[in-house]
Structure 1
């Protein structure tokens, strides 16, 4: 299932604090606002050490400077330090004039950390600051979906599509929510709409394939899953969906073949041991099933 985009590089989305802050001089002897701009340019060029050095110099002069904390949050996220990224992003959002993008990024980081209540609060604040931004409504809809607040999720994703009706990700994400609400027919229409807008959208193709099979059309469903894999041969969900489809009609060897193909490039996929154990058990390979359930290599 498609998720919201990663916290992005902010471009022109800066707080007003940089322009209004006292113009102290970082160690390199340049004004604070210029140092911040230069740090962002280093970040956008992939020059993390140079960007971090400038950020630290700015914070030595202005410890609460929000644009600097925002950039440090982006860098920490890119380096896999999620807790540190959230802490910096919280500080970036602590200033009254912090832009919507900062709250949206905080919400997305919190979602990735499983902190759904904070994610919802931050993203609602982002929406209050920029209620015409489709991406913010999309992020909020996904957060609410993961929190089990499905009616609210659907409303947010519908709002997103009202602002950006040609966004295939919006249709796909709304389809995911509708499917969780057991509104399968409407979900199928949304997945189909996503594919009309982007015929190469592998997530929507896989989702529609799984749903089509569940609605009693396994061959049509498998054709869609094969199409998804032709678009993206490393799409793990499509292999798992294909294995589930084949298992559902008792084709255990075919189901295992799909999982073996997945294991060839994603041996650490967290869903693989359980799925593989279930299928090899049905094939009567008990010892192998027990080893697969424990995640031992075969």
Structure 2
């Protein structure tokens, strides 16, 4: 490890990201400990890392607020820029999460962060990466003061300048990302408000409103899915506070608070009541209810009461293995993955020899995007039960989620060898071989699976996609037709048939299938693009404009769709509107070396 950077003595390396290293250093000139952030030189994004860090230093040098980390210095070391900022003696907000949150403290912290963001917005700066990891709690102050840090993604909006252009590639964290940010649209202070609203949701409920297997899936959920009511996870949240949280994370920026000041004003009276309120009494019937009572509540459809009983039992015996294990399972089924992880880990700390526990932990970790930890948990489960079908399948699927099909293949093969009638093992191995380019082997596996279960429409569909991958169109069409006979509302099969009809220059039949796909599954976004193509081929220009326009609401970075829409508008004689969409496509390509190319689903 490097001993000195400029005039600063390195104490230790705190962490490393793709773009920078973060060191704890000692500033002998001022006799103080500080944080030094050094841009990395040894990667393909060297220039980007240096530019990002210089921009961050420039932004911090303009700011002075008790809720924002202070910049001490900036310079260069071996031709790479660094910045030096205050060292916060404390922890990040991520460590503040508790099962039974102190709502008064939560609101106090969030309002302090909101004031810091309001100050930023007054200086025409958007943070664009508000999340618990970027909020440090300064324990030297009473009460502890939250400080906003990491301005690497921040954006300056100059006075009297137009808003940031749509489609600009701006980074951020998908779990906390506003819909307009995910879609590449114009941003303003309400974008940061959304992210802070997600943080508030998480602190109050111990869960995030949206989880996806990948960052892209999470971002799509922010755009399309409605958040669950916070009181579903924590019934102690007052209805008025729930309404504030849901308003802060509304999909449409116009439906949120118009500024951080209004958000703070809405929270203030609730915060005052919370801080004046005496501590909550223990759970009703504390000390008298048992595991049998909790299970009765579950059978009666009252999981929240069961959870309360189990938690009360844990206050009396924190090492109760059965309570932790059962509570982890209940919370997982409710979608409360972070809380489930804590209880499953606590159960494993008591008894680490149960494969089922490690498997359940792996699934919860996977659902929260902790992929490497999920693999480790599944591997521990497999070591305890080497031929367990569900564990082998979980490992294969996990590696496929991480786009490591070569690592997934042997686990699916082991699953099939140990369980030769498992359709899930056939499917997993066949899909993996298809990704690896072993399409002939995939076809053989799908055919064997169909011999075991000929009435499974998904297997017919999967076999059809494999045939299509090697241009065996007639065989693929036969498979998709079989899938639709078994399941007439099978959206993916209709979509695939629609594309086959398009390739065969039969737009009328293609439109029939594509409309059926959309009717069966309204979220089938790419079917809208293909429907636009079918309408264009039929010279149904109004239908094409409608389909392409609806598609672009969900895929705002697809240059191909902008150009297709422009072409249709030109055919309608609407040159001005067509020019607008061509300029949008050009602007998108200017901000991205590769742009985004439309990929038609099979």
TM range (shorter): 0.7 to 0.9
Q: 1:45, CA displacement in angstroms?
A: 6.3
> Equivalent residues in 2 for 1:185-204 (5 A)?
185-204=440-459
Q: Distance in 2 between matches of 1:237 and 1:66?
A: 44
> Equivalent residues in 2 for 1:188-267 (5 A)?
188-267=443-522
Q: 1:157, CA displacement in angstroms?
A: 0.7
Q: Distance in 2 between matches of 1:168 and 1:45?
A: 34
Of the three residues 552, 562, 567, the one matched with 1:294 is: 552
Using a 3 Å threshold, how does the CA distance of structure 1 residues 200 and 109 change in structure 2: closer, same or farther?
Answer: farther
Q: 1:83, CA displacement in angstroms?
A: 3.2
Q: 1:144, CA displacement in angstroms?
A: 1.0
Contact 1:205 1:228 in 2 (8 A): yes
> Equivalent residues in 2 for 1:62-77 (5 A)?
62-77=317-332
Q: 1:147, CA displacement in angstroms?
A: 1.4
Q: 1:38, CA displacement in angstroms?
A: 5.4
Q: Distance in 1 between matches of 2:534 and 2:486?
A: 31
Using a 3 Å threshold, how does the CA distance of structure 1 residues 118 and 224 change in structure 2: closer, same or farther?
Answer: same
Q: Distance in 2 between matches of 1:293 and 1:223?
A: 29
**Higher percent of residues as helix:** 1
Q: Distance in 2 between matches of 1:167 and 1:278?
A: 35
- Higher mean alpha-carbon deviation, 163-172 vs 59-68, is at 59-68
Of the three residues 349, 353, 367, the one matched with 1:112 is: 367
Contact 1:213 1:245 in 2 (8 A): no
Q: 1:92, CA displacement in angstroms?
A: 3.2
Partner of 2:287: 27
- Do structure 1's residue 58 and structure 2's residue 318 form an aligned pair? no
- Higher mean alpha-carbon deviation, 56-65 vs 134-143, is at 56-65
Partner of 1:283: 535
Contact 2:498 2:514 in 1 (8 A): yes
- Higher mean alpha-carbon deviation, 139-148 vs 181-190, is at 139-148
Calculate the aligned-residue CA RMSD, in Å: 2.7
Q: Distance in 2 between matches of 1:56 and 1:169?
A: 36
- Higher mean alpha-carbon deviation, 43-52 vs 250-259, is at 43-52
Using a 3 Å threshold, how does the CA distance of structure 1 residues 105 and 41 change in structure 2: closer, same or farther?
Answer: farther
Highest RCO, 1 vs 2 (Cα 8 Å, sep ≥ 6): 1
Q: Distance in 2 between matches of 1:246 and 1:90?
A: 52
Matched residue count: 264
Contact 1:26 1:57 in 2 (8 A): yes
Q: Distance in 2 between matches of 1:150 and 1:100?
A: 24
Contact 1:273 1:295 in 2 (8 A): no
Q: Deviations over 1:25-63 (max 9, x none)?
A: 972255xxxx1x654565466442442233122212122
Using a 3 Å threshold, how does the CA distance of structure 1 residues 258 and 27 change in structure 2: closer, same or farther?
Answer: farther
Q: Deviations over 1:97-121 (max 9, x none)?
A: 3511121122223333333212211
Partner of 1:273: 525
| Contiguous gaps of at least 5 residues in structure 1 | 1-24
Contact 2:348 2:357 in 1 (8 A): yes
Contact 1:273 1:294 in 2 (8 A): no
Contact 1:209 1:223 in 2 (8 A): yes
Contact 2:395 2:411 in 1 (8 A): yes
- Do structure 1's residue 175 and structure 2's residue 433 form an aligned pair? no
Q: Deviations over 1:101-148 (max 9, x none)?
A: 121122223333333212211111110111121211111011112212
Q: 1:294, CA displacement in angstroms?
A: 2.8
**Which secondary structure state, in structure 2, belongs to the residue aligned with residue 283 of structure 1?**
helix
TM-score, L = length of structure 2: 0.40
Contact 2:327 2:340 in 1 (8 A): yes
Q: Distance in 2 between matches of 1:48 and 1:73?
A: 12
Partner of 1:18: none
Partner of 2:410: 155
Q: Deviations over 1:50-91 (max 9, x none)?
A: 422331222121224343233333323333333333333333
Using a 3 Å threshold, how does the CA distance of structure 1 residues 102 and 202 change in structure 2: closer, same or farther?
Answer: farther
Contact 1:210 1:245 in 2 (8 A): no
Q: Distance in 2 between matches of 1:143 and 1:265?
A: 28
TM-score, L = length of structure 1: 0.77
**Higher percent of residues as strand:** 2
Q: Which has the larger radius of gyration?
A: 2
| Contiguous gaps of at least 5 residues in structure 2 | 1-284, 555-602
**Which secondary structure state, in structure 2, belongs to the residue aligned with residue 94 of structure 1?**
helix
